[in-house]
Structure 1
Amino acid sequence: MKLLVSLLLMCPLMISAQKGRGDLRFVFYNVENLFDPFDDSLKLDDEFLPGTIRHWTWDRFLEKEQNLYKVLACSGGWKPAELIGLCEVENRFVLNWLVRKTPLLKYNYRIIHEDSPDERGIDVALLYLPSKFKPLEWKSLSVGYYRGKAGYENLPGGLYRSSTSRNEGFELQDPTRDILYVRGLALERDTIHILICHWPSRWGGYLESLTERMEAARTVKWLLDSIWRLDIHARILVAGDLNDELSDPSLSSVLRVRIPGDKVRKTGDMAKIPGDKVRKTGDGAILSDNVQCYGCLYHTGSEQKIVEGGKKSSEPPGTLKYQGSWYEFDHVLVSGGFLSDSSLFVKPGGKRILAPDFLFEKDPASPGKKPFRTYIGYKYHGGFSDHLPVYIDIWQK
């Protein structure tokens, strides 16, 4: 208990924000290569073994797990985050160690995880508190052309996706991480849908790798459409390291992500939120500044720089820093059903970047700070991750 209290005292910004904390907090974190030090002959994990280029030892593995415990314990404030999405985890073993062999044990987190076809063996996962979230269904969905498989692939809700309706003949250069889909009952109130993603990286160049992220976005879009076909008011979270920003075509063109407050023509598929202001246009349509489309995705994020009291946010301008520039690759997107005045809802501007001081170090190559990461190149650095966590609060009426 003393260790936990000491840790929380390291997170003054999170604790001061606790008064405004929602009823359920969702956190997403790219944990930067959480590997065990054991060889998996079926995966390309040789870098993370003792005696190889990264000298990944048992002691370093234990230090990494303790570091991640500190971040996750901090992420919820005085009480634990109820839902935690993770990426860059090797297997079930490293997840079990995190929730059972660190002080996170006291919270009784449960794990949802499926092995992905990624050649390095890194996966995505969801941790949840069973007292706050009850899984009803989960499924791991492939990204890219379904190799050697004709016919149909099952989608949640009993729907199907035809392999011929996708980019026929398109194959990813390398297998990538599956998308983890989870449907569950939140706070014993209503059903929510969660998609945990880790889209293909920009390795090899932005343009050279863009088609693979576009295919990942199309896979997400098919899944969203299958959910909305059953329930246009569905509450959906799409979270992950997407390796793209809002302006990139995977998000702007394929998923068509919006910002709350976008001026839209009001139709029957719009959800009214408090403070809505509408006005008629010359052609008789109703133009609204504050109405959300149900069958749409929204970014409620940190670029709005809105905090309580109207003050500007002190958050960094992104979730990772590369060659002196910040990028926001880590997203939590929500459907319009979450922005309506209903039993479970998310506030506009609600997605935040977790940025306690201990996650940073001075950047010697450019002004300001940068995330305190585990490795710099192949040199062990002993930090947390090259990404910062993001979170969003869900409220109940």
Structure 2
Amino acid sequence: MIKYLLQILTAALVFVMLFSCEDEGYLSSTDAQLRFSVDTVTFDTIFTTIGSTTRRFTVSNPYDEDVLISRIRLAGGDASNFRLNINGYMGTELYEIGLPARDSIYIFVEVTIDPNGQNLPMVVADSIEFTTNTNFQSIMLEAYGQDFKLIKSERLQTTTWTAEKPYLVYDYAYVDSLSTLTIEPGTKIYFHKDAGMYVRGNVVADGTFESPIIFRADRLEPSYEDIPDQWNGVVLYSGSHDNVFNFTTIKNANIGLQVGTIENEGYASVDLTNSRIENMAYAGVFALKSKIFAYNAVIANCGYYAAALLVGGEYEFYHSTIANYWGNYGAAVRTTPALVVSNVLIVENSKGEQISYNGDLAKATFGNSIIYGNIGNELELGDNEENTFNYLFDHCIIQAPDTLNTSNTNHYINAMIGSDFDPRFVDPYDEYNYELDTLSAAKDVGTSRYSELYPLDILNKSRTGEDGPILGRTNALKSKMKRFLFCLSLVLLIAKGNAQNSNAEFSILFYNVENLFDIQNDSLTADDEFTPGGERHWTRKRFNNKINNISKVILSAGGWTMPDLIGLCEVENRYVLQKLIKDTPLKATPYKIIHKESPDPRGIDVAMIYNSETFYPLDYNYYPLQNKNGGIRKSREILHVLGTVNNGDSIHVFVNHWPSRYSGLLETRPARQQAARLLYSKYKEIIQIDQDANVVIVGDFNDQPNDESISKYLAASSPLYNESASLYNLSFPWLDKEEGTLKYQGRWFVFDQIIVSPNLLTSTSGLSTNPKKATVCDLPYLFEPDETRGGRKLHRTYTGFRYNEGFSDHLPVLLKLQQN
């Protein structure tokens, strides 16, 4: 008995020791905090009973010791609408999850929402709870649900679809012969992957300006907002007549609207008015031997053709815009024109034989319209010289070579050809906005023959009473600038033209604008002094003066050429950047914004504005700094932007604002060294993939070029003394000058710097530069006399707390690169 008792006690002791040893292997601090990649998992509108896509986030251990997560739990338990997959485990609750040091796990989330019988969206919420060493954390879950009417593989007789609830089409909706599908204003129709609408009868989709009709895919997440090829599109079979699409949007399909089918006798016909067809993988409108009557139509942004009118037919387009900027900024991804008009179609059958389909083109009239895009020739005419080929471009802008013969007045009446007649759409690339700015060549050049027939534009505004009708589907122009801004715009247009030459310079400006705050109090940041009632009495007038001063610097820094990229720091939010580029003379230049709120306690961020006609972002990231405990430092993040320039080269640009010396040089030095290590690691990731990558690093580093953070931890050397460095600091020579980029207590420092990868100094093709192309912009008006310490100092917004109407406590720095 004693023998057995000793064995039991020994086993128990071993059991306790084993678990004691295991516990000792985990971080035991009750302050241990897991790190999450998000604080809320949000699902955009989910159709009820249809499961969502999967969202995921990471749970990370930021410590150098393993962490034991006691419990991960879905708060709603089995009754929740949400479902979890915790690192491969399906369930609502999981215990004792070991997370190794500096490691992470994935958690996947899905949701299904029950219908509530109402049209209004519903909201469901839950949370995921994490318990670690008695420390509780949670991630919020939220989803928006929408009831719908399901149409799945349905053959429709005459019926009406209403706006009461959206329609969700699976597989197909087939409108039978001799049947009419009437779609009321405000109706939304969503199509699942590979679904489509096929019409042998007819469709009357008669929306209104206030209540348009929408045809689109059923993926409603923002990331799918403009993704093409999500559904098949609408097909009107030959024999389908009297179709109507008025105030209707069709988007994100393969072919938006096919009018006519080659294998069926007869033709299809449609009225396409006040409508948009855009963002298609193949074509917006694809017509075969059919009839289209269109006005106030936008057909845009398609992988091959915006509009293809083939095998003859009858077509009329008035006050319409056919624009193709597919691929955004580069022309290489598309070689087909925006518009093709032909009386022939040649296809290859399964035996490899070519079959020709021919038809008379009785009419193809384009009046007061725009045919434009991002390749040199956006018009193709195909005539088999056997069938009738009648076409007319009457008062149209056409992107075509100057060699296009427009002397035949049977085909061209006041046709405006080539890039000299740029319609200057507001933003055809990112926002798909085809309104015209005030300098558009389409302004006041139309004929009243068509504007009197169609007196209202797509925005329901009158076309009458102008000096002349505006081409395209809208009469709206961006507001006119004051006379001096108009003169400035002409200068900027000249500068833009110079910048687009094959050997043009590409310039990057960096500017610490010093405390660019709005006048509102943000309760989450320490910005109280920059409010009307704060210590600095920061008023709307002072704010407006500040942004106009900054715009003056940007306009002047590059001489006659506007900077293509501008890295900025000490900006409070996106609002101040919007005001800078929209409410100052900069509004004449197509600048756009890259920005994200940082964890800095004062709320100041780093950002970039870029000329959208000379730089084309592909991706960007913000990298947070770490504190000594491995958590996120409450400081500015490092911005990394990857993009291309007009000569096709790619370039990486890093924008920095490293931790300041405010608490003392020695005390704050490790923070800047940590920032340098982070930046260098990101740079090495790029170079490991492409050793000839073009990399430019700019910023206010709060250290000088010869300080260890930059010379040692970032490994940025002087281009004058080191021929094999990882990075070259083009700002090193500025240390030998009397003045730097800021002055503190009578001494000049070089905190604002430009650093480049070796390839930019050695390249003989593509982008290149040299040390002399990096300069401090010491514009005279940025200085004032230093009556206390002698010489001059920077003309700041404030001297102490006295308002000084100036600029900044830093000078901007500029780099010019050659596009070879």
TM-score, normalization: structure 1? 0.78
Match of 2:649 among 169, 190, 194: 190
Equivalence for 1:46: 528
Question: How far is 1:376 from its partner?
Answer: 1.6
Calculate the aligned-residue CA RMSD, in Å.
Answer: 2.3
In the alignment, the residues of structure 1 paired with residue 544 and residue 780 of structure 2 have an alpha-carbon distance, to the nearest angstrom, of 22
Please say if 1:213 is aligned against 2:672: yes
Match of 1:67 among 517, 542, 549: 549
Equivalence for 1:352: 775
In the alignment, the residues of structure 2 paired with residue 223 and residue 46 of structure 1 have an alpha-carbon distance, to the nearest angstrom, of 35
Match of 2:730 among 273, 287, 300: 300
Task: Give, as a single letter, the amino acid of the residue that structure 2 aligns with 1:107.
Answer: T
Q: 1:31–1:385: 8 Å Cα contact kept in structure 2? A: yes
In the alignment, the residues of structure 1 paired with residue 740 and residue 787 of structure 2 have an alpha-carbon distance, to the nearest angstrom, of 18
- Higher strand content, 1 or 2: 2
In the alignment, the residues of structure 2 paired with residue 263 and residue 390 of structure 1 have an alpha-carbon distance, to the nearest angstrom, of 23
Match of 1:101 among 575, 583, 586: 583
Q: 1:301–1:349: 8 Å Cα contact kept in structure 2? A: no
Q: Which has the larger radius of gyration?
A: 2
Question: How far is 1:226 from its partner?
Answer: 0.9
Please say if 1:379 is aligned against 2:809: no
Assess, with a 3 A threshold, how the Cα gap between structure 1 residues 130 and 100 changes in structure 2: closer, same or farther: same
Q: 1:303–1:317: 8 Å Cα contact kept in structure 2? A: no
In the alignment, the residues of structure 1 paired with residue 610 and residue 549 of structure 2 have an alpha-carbon distance, to the nearest angstrom, of 19
Question: How far is 1:351 from its partner?
Answer: 1.1
Task: Give, as a single letter, the amino acid of the residue that structure 2 aligns with 1:322.
Answer: Y
Question: How far is 1:212 from its partner?
Answer: 0.7
Deviations 1:213-256 (A, max 9, x none): 11111110111111111111111011100000011110111011
Please list every run of 5 or more consecutive structure 1 residues that lacks an aligned counterpart in the other structure: 10-20, 146-166, 265-291, 306-312
Match of 2:595 among 104, 110, 113: 113
Please say if 1:247 is aligned against 2:729: no
Please say if 1:325 is aligned against 2:747: yes
Please list every run of 5 or more consecutive structure 2 residues that lacks an aligned counterpart in the other structure: 1-482, 492-502
Assess, with a 3 A threshold, how the Cα gap between structure 1 residues 87 and 304 changes in structure 2: closer, same or farther: closer
Task: Give, as a single letter, the amino acid of the residue that structure 2 aligns with 1:204.
Answer: S
Please say if 1:234 is aligned against 2:656: no
Assess, with a 3 A threshold, how the Cα gap between structure 1 residues 297 and 263 changes in structure 2: closer, same or farther: closer
Please say if 1:144 is aligned against 2:626: yes
Question: How far is 1:257 from its partner?
Answer: 1.1
Q: 2:661–2:668: 8 Å Cα contact kept in structure 1? A: yes
In the alignment, the residues of structure 2 paired with residue 337 and residue 35 of structure 1 have an alpha-carbon distance, to the nearest angstrom, of 38
Task: Give, as a single letter, the amino acid of the residue that structure 1 aligns with 2:699.
Answer: G
Q: 1:302–1:351: 8 Å Cα contact kept in structure 2? A: no
Assess, with a 3 A threshold, how the Cα gap between structure 1 residues 377 and 102 changes in structure 2: closer, same or farther: same
In the alignment, the residues of structure 2 paired with residue 188 and residue 112 of structure 1 have an alpha-carbon distance, to the nearest angstrom, of 22
SS of the residue aligned with 2:771?
A: coil
Task: Give, as a single letter, the amino acid of the residue that structure 2 aligns with 1:119.
Answer: P
Give the total of aligned pairs. Answer: 325
Question: How far is 1:378 from its partner?
Answer: 2.1
Question: How far is 1:54 from its partner?
Answer: 1.1
Assess, with a 3 A threshold, how the Cα gap between structure 1 residues 106 and 5 changes in structure 2: closer, same or farther: closer
Moved over 3 A (4+): 1-6
Deviations 1:182-219 (A, max 9, x none): 00002232110000010000001100110111111111
Assess, with a 3 A threshold, how the Cα gap between structure 1 residues 94 and 107 changes in structure 2: closer, same or farther: same
Q: 2:730–2:753: 8 Å Cα contact kept in structure 1? A: no
- Higher helix content, 1 or 2: 1
Equivalence for 2:758: 336
Match of 2:814 among 375, 391, 394: 391
Question: How far is 1:262 from its partner?
Answer: 2.1
Question: How far is 1:303 from its partner?
Answer: 2.1
Deviations 1:319-359 (A, max 9, x none): 00011100000011101111112311011232100011101
Assess, with a 3 A threshold, how the Cα gap between structure 1 residues 320 and 88 changes in structure 2: closer, same or farther: same
SS of the residue aligned with 1:339?
A: helix
Task: Give, as a single letter, the amino acid of the residue that structure 2 aligns with 1:361.
Answer: E
Assess, with a 3 A threshold, how the Cα gap between structure 1 residues 200 and 183 changes in structure 2: closer, same or farther: same
In the alignment, the residues of structure 2 paired with residue 243 and residue 263 of structure 1 have an alpha-carbon distance, to the nearest angstrom, of 23
Assess, with a 3 A threshold, how the Cα gap between structure 1 residues 4 and 72 changes in structure 2: closer, same or farther: farther
Question: How far is 1:76 from its partner?
Answer: 2.0
Task: Give, as a single letter, the amino acid of the residue that structure 2 aligns with 1:59.
Answer: K
In the alignment, the residues of structure 1 paired with residue 792 and residue 486 of structure 2 have an alpha-carbon distance, to the nearest angstrom, of 26
Q: 1:316–1:353: 8 Å Cα contact kept in structure 2? A: no
SS of the residue aligned with 2:784?
A: strand
Deviations 1:152-171 (A, max 9, x none): xxxxxxxxxxxxxxx7x345
Task: Give, as a single letter, the amino acid of the residue that structure 1 aligns with 2:682.
Answer: L
Once the two structures are superposed, the pairs formed by residues 5-20 of structure 1 within 5 Å of their partners are: none
Assess, with a 3 A threshold, how the Cα gap between structure 1 residues 302 and 70 changes in structure 2: closer, same or farther: farther
In the alignment, the residues of structure 1 paired with residue 577 and residue 805 of structure 2 have an alpha-carbon distance, to the nearest angstrom, of 19
Q: 2:567–2:606: 8 Å Cα contact kept in structure 1? A: yes
Q: 1:319–1:387: 8 Å Cα contact kept in structure 2? A: yes
